[in-house]
Amino acid sequence: MLPRMAILILTFVTFFCWITLGSVRGSEKIYSDNITLILDRLLDGYDNRLRPGSGGGVTEVKTDIFVTSFGPVSDVEMEYTMDMFFRQMWVDQRLKFEGPSEILRLNNRMVDKIWTPDSFFRNSKKSISHNMTTPNKLFRIMQNGTVFYTMRLTITSECPMKLMNFPMDGHACPLRFGSYAYTSSEIIFTWRKGPIASVDCPKESMSLLQYDLVGQTLSSEIFKSNTGHYSVMVVHFHLQRKLGYYLIQTYIPLIMVVVLSQVSFWINKESVPARTVAGITTVLTMTTLSISARESLPKVAYATAMDWFIAVCFAFVASALVEFAAVNYLATLQANRRKKKKARQDKLEVLATGSDDDNASSASSPQDGLKRRNHSVCRSEAEEGPLPIFLQQGSAFPQIPQLAGTSPIDKYSRILFPLAFALFNLVYWYMYLAYDNMESARDVVLKN
């Protein structure tokens, strides 16, 4: 009896599971068939060559952007690159439907069968639509005919830069997009989430080394051309340059070179080779630094803030070399005057000694008078003492030990040059760091 009951129960459970599974499969098939019928009905008689409301009202396309990666920014080419999800939403009354699902989630194959906006980026140099492993496009149709269309793009756009304040500068890089063929009387673009939140730039998606993305400004404008007026959406990305790289690579080395050039003021003027080598070396080093600093910049026709700093530093270094030339020249003139004065004194002494000898001993021989004159000259030279080492080694100064020591010009230069350079740095850094470059960039955006 028990085995027979167990067999009956097992048979009943199996039959119930078979019926349930069949009903589920049947409902799935019915649901799939319903979606297929809905799509077939939507596309029946649909002309994707005509925009929604063609011949009637204006089609409104709502847009927003999600930035997945921003950068790099090229100063030489004046351009920037960004990777983003470009989203568009519009209403097409021809795509209304009724069914079990409120939203039809479709793949990219459906995009080619319905009308989509002919959006393009006006200031882009290069645009890429990603197709790996399949076209990166998202497509949704709501019951009320609202269409949501998203695609992943990589855009390289131009970014006009004014580099007068480089490297303490800021820029507003624009991104302009709109319809290519439809005028503003046919299609108008608007921001889907308003003029504040329609462009999302997460901090973790920023890949900038030399800039900080401090914000973005959204606006819209009407572009006027010979073929009509077009609705254009504009995004300005505000970039502030980072100063740290240029401090380490340019500014600090320039300051050190200027300080080293002023060390020569503490070297005695007699050390001509040492001061000459120091001056020429610092001038060459300054030239090398100025050339390397300009390699990462476009060839603009105006001077940047860094150019002014380099020019002033070069002037200080060159002035240090000119200062030594002036010290050397004045010392040489002074030495020549002393030498001529000494020669005249020696000549007068010799003449006076010769006349005394002629009066005192007219009977003595000419050879004895010549010996006495030579002995007098040798005695005057011996009284001056031994020559210093720098004179014995071929110094440019005349061999007069009284001229050895510190020049008065060097004494004044030790104070005036450092004070002038410190004052210049104070004015320079205050003028450029206190000036808000991003405010000027925003003013340009508002003015445009």
pLDDT in tens, 190-215: 999 999 999 999 988 777 888 999 99
Q: Please report the pLDDT score of residue 16 as a whole number.
A: 54
Q: Please report the pLDDT score of residue 54 as a whole number.
A: 82
CB atoms within 10 A of CB 161: 23
Q: Which two tokens stand for residue 176?
A: 């302009």
Q: Mean pLDDT per segment of 10 residues, for the chain of length 448 residues?
A: 57 54 42 74 90 87 95 92 96 89 88 93 94 91 94 95 92 96 94 93 84 93 94 96 92 95 87 85 90 85 93 95 88 79 78 64 51 48 47 46 70 94 96 78 56
Q: Please report the pLDDT score of residue 337 as a whole number.
A: 80
Q: Please report the pLDDT score of residue 249 as a whole number.
A: 92
pLDDT tens-digit readout, 55-113: 778 999 999 999 999 989 999 999 999 999 999 999 999 999 987 888 999 888 889 89
Q: Please report the pLDDT score of residue 382 as a whole number.
A: 44
Q: Please report the pLDDT score of residue 26 as a whole number.
A: 42
Q: Please report the pLDDT score of residue 188 as a whole number.
A: 96
Of 170, 197, 157, the C-alpha closest to 77 is: 157
| Whether this model's pTM surpasses 0.85 | no
> Whole-angstrom Cα distance, residue 107 to residue 248?
52
Contact 324, 407 (CB under 8 A): no
> Whole-angstrom Cα distance, residue 128 to residue 83?
9
